[in-house]
Amino acid sequence: MKTYQKNILWAGVYLAGLLAFCFAAMYFSQKDLLGAFIAFPIFMLLFTIIVMKDVKIFSVLSFVTMLLTAFMVFAVAAEQKNGIFLSAEAEKVFMIVFPIILSFVLVNGIFWGKTKQSWKRLVGFILSGFSVFFLLVFGMSSPNYSENFIYTRIFLIILFILSVYLIRTKKRNLKITGILGVVLSIIALILSALLFAGQTYTPVEKQEAEIIAFIDPKVKEMFAAYNNDDYDNFCKYCGADLMAMNAVSPMIDKKADLGNLVSFGEPKISQVMDFYYVEYQVRFEKQASTFYLSFMLTDFSEGSTIYGFSVFDQPDL
């Protein structure tokens, strides 16, 4: 194939990449995630192919275009307001789009890092370094919405794959870097899980309303039974573990000290990992101070039970 024919071919591939970028941006703006996640990797792949073919001006142009268009799509896809994601779905899109971008930047950065041109090697090393940094930071960070924690694993998986690739290279220093990367990936995986376990979340408004609709009537019925000395029905909504605990240390046994429950405050709700906590500020007949009833749920769908229950003299939420 003659030179001008090759140039026409690569120009066509470059234009196809731009066209795929336009479709990706359009699909993301229209919330058509299926179309977006088809078009998005396609245009990144087309530009990457041109970069790796090292086709004169097209290689540099494609490298720059890939970076600019990728982050333009990223800006469209990640819906934020004052740095906060507008919904769990918006954060999920971010947690998928960003590692895809970083993986392609890494591939291109590593390729340029292996070329003979010093300025390309420098750019490649800088971009690869930034990519590894972002993979580590976002892989260890707890998301704004608890259900998206699983997507932080994507960042660490990419970092692990990169480390394995470095181990398989022939240079000793890269092998050592790869081994350290594997160890770091595993440590980050464990540490991020521990950090997430201690993270407290406030359920979104719709979820909060569903939790209140589930727990509120049950709590009122439980303490109506408590006030009426109805031992049999006090724990009718308790799960097996809570029922066993209540059998050992019945709440109704505390009535001699507390007296009847005379008032309920508004519930406060939080989430830690897969547990939901609902806390009521209450007053008991024989106590001058305020008490707090805390209920633990693992589910709030129809037919679910209350997992845990406790009484405190200080707020827990």
Range of 272's domain? 205-312
Residues 6+ apart with CB under 8 A from 51: 59, 62, 63, 66, 108, 111, 112
Structure tokens at 295: 């209920």
Position 260 in a domain:
yes
Among 295, 154, 142, residue whose Cα is nearest residue 212: 295
Q: What is the mean pLDDT of each run of 10 residues along the chain (317 residues)?
A: 74 89 88 88 90 82 88 76 70 88 91 85 91 90 80 91 89 88 90 77 74 87 84 80 75 79 84 83 85 86 82 73
pLDDT digits (tens, 9 = 90+) for 155-191: 999 999 999 998 988 888 888 988 998 999 899 888 8
Q: How far apart are CA 101 and CA 229, in angstroms?
A: 63
State the CATH number of the domain containing residue 277.
3.10.450
3-state helix, strand, coil in the chain (%, to 5): 65, 10, 20
Are residues 192 and 55 part of one domain? yes
Are residues 115 and 86 part of one domain? yes
Are residues 166 and 26 part of one domain? yes
**Sign of torsion over alpha carbons 230, 232, 238, 244:** positive
Position 227 in a domain:
yes
Overall pTM > 0.75: no
Are residues 184 and 228 part of one domain? no
Place of tokens 């704004």: 144
Domain boundary among 199, 230, 261: 199
Are residues 172 and 126 part of one domain? yes
Position 317 in a domain:
no
pLDDT, residue 131, reads 92
Position 272 in a domain:
yes
Q: How far apart are CA 128 and CA 274, in angstroms?
A: 35
Are residues 20 and 164 part of one domain? yes
Are residues 243 and 224 part of one domain? yes
pLDDT digits (tens, 9 = 90+) for 108-166: 999 888 888 888 889 989 999 999 999 998 888 878 777 788 888 999 999 999 999 98
pLDDT, residue 19, reads 93
Domain boundary among 156, 173, 199: 199
**Residue 3 CB: number of other CB atoms within 10 A?**
8
Are residues 177 and 60 part of one domain? yes
- 3-state DSSP assignment of residue 296: strand
In DSSP terms, 277 is beta-bridged to 270, 296
Are residues 45 and 120 part of one domain? yes
